[in-house]
Amino acid sequence: MNTLNRVLIFGATSAIAEQTARQLVAQGASLYCVGRNRDKLMAIIGDLRARASSQQYIDGCVADLTDSAQHPNLIDAADHQLGGIDGVLIAHGTLPDQKACQADTSLTRQEIEANALSVINLLTLLANRFEQQQRGVIAVISSVAGDRGRQSNYIYGAAKGMVTLFLQGLRNRLAKANVNIVTIKPGFVDTPMTAAFDKGGPLWTAPEHIAKGIIKAMEHGKDEVYLPWFWWGIMLIIKHIPERIFKRMSL
């Protein structure tokens, strides 16, 4: 079991990350929260402080994570403020407008930057630190969308797929160092990112439910988890449809 007493969260203003933070605070954790939108981040830190006891430390700072030059400072600040880091959650992401990306190469690059390269940059720095400390857990929210490219969403899918593959390699490398690398693959989650979708169906899940799964996976040092679990079955089928047939489908 990994203990999660001191946790660093990137993309702390995400709805999934916020619910995860609340549950971690309820378990007694101290947190360092990094987010891009100042008002949102301050509201969340205020809320977490009200929920925390006086023994818990809650703070954070504002940063756009596509600015990779800042990454080392952010990690140092968290390490310093928390007095060490037991776990990290990387949650930030954007859902690209697929059609717009198809018409604009620079937009495509931006989306890959936000969803993949910024994450890989953080992971590279964190990996070296965790390899040295010989313990801890790093979890990243990837997506079921990274399991297979689909016409409707393949820029996002490709970026998440890159993250998933990078994490596989990193997991392999850090297994020897007693560090757990957790890939989180949520299905459809009812958050601001998916505000434009019609959320009537049974496949939609509330972020607090995903948050519970994330914490459990981090504590148990899981490798890859689908959240909720049934997405494992759905993706198994989707991954195994022969390309010859898949390319004619409109998914």
Partner 1 sequence: MNSPLSWNRLPRVSPDAVYRLTQRSADIPLHLPRPLLAYGNGRSYGDVCLTEQGTLLLTRGLDRFISFDEQNGILRCEAGITLQEILELIVPRGWFLPVTPGTRMSTVGGAVSNDVHGKNHHTSGTFCHHVRCLELWRSDGSIIECGPEKHQQWFEATVGGLGLTGLIRWVEFGLIPIENPWMWVESRRFANLDEFWTLNHQLESRWPYTVAWIDCLASGNARGRGLILAADHAAARNELPKFKERRRRVPIDPPFSLVNRVSLRALNGLYYRQPIKPQGGLTHYAPYFYPLDTIQDWNRIYGRQGFYQYQCVIPPREAEAATAALLETIGRRGEGSFLAVLKTFGNKSSLGMLSFPRAGTTLALDFPNRGDKTLRLFEELDAIVREAGGALYPGKDARMPASLFQSGFPQWEAFSKYVDPNFSSEFWRRVTS
Ligand X SMILES: NC(=O)c1ccc[n+]([C@@H]2O[C@H](COP(=O)([O-])OP(=O)(O)OC[C@H]3O[C@@H](n4cnc5c(N)ncnc54)[C@H](OP(=O)(O)O)[C@@H]3O)[C@@H](O)[C@H]2O)c1
Query: What is the footprint of partner 1 within residues 56-85 (CB under 8 A)?
Result: none
Does position 203 bind partner 1 by CB under 8 A?
Answer: no
> Which segment (14-22, 43-51, 79-87, 230-238) binds ligand X by CB under 6 A?
14-22
Residue of 106, 176, 200, 244 that binds partner 1 (CB under 8 A): 200
Does position 50 bind partner 1 by CB under 8 A?
Answer: yes
Beta-carbon contacts of 6 under 8 Å, excluding residues fewer than 6 positions away, are: 29, 30, 31, 32, 82, 83, 84, 85, 86, 87
Does position 44 bind partner 1 by CB under 8 A?
Answer: yes
Does position 129 bind partner 1 by CB under 8 A?
Answer: no
Residue of 47, 59, 64, 208 that binds ligand X (CB under 6 A): 64
**Tokens in use for 81?**
């403020």
Considering only the C-alpha atoms of the chain, give the largest distance between any 2 of them, rounded to a whole number of Å: 60
Residue of 7, 9, 12, 15 that binds partner 1 (CB under 8 A): 15
For ligand X, the closer of residues 29 and 33 by Cβ is: 33
For ligand X, the closer of residues 5 and 228 by Cβ is: 228
DSSP category for residue 117: I
Judged by phi (left if over 0) then psi (alpha if -120 to 50, else beta), residue 65 lies in alpha
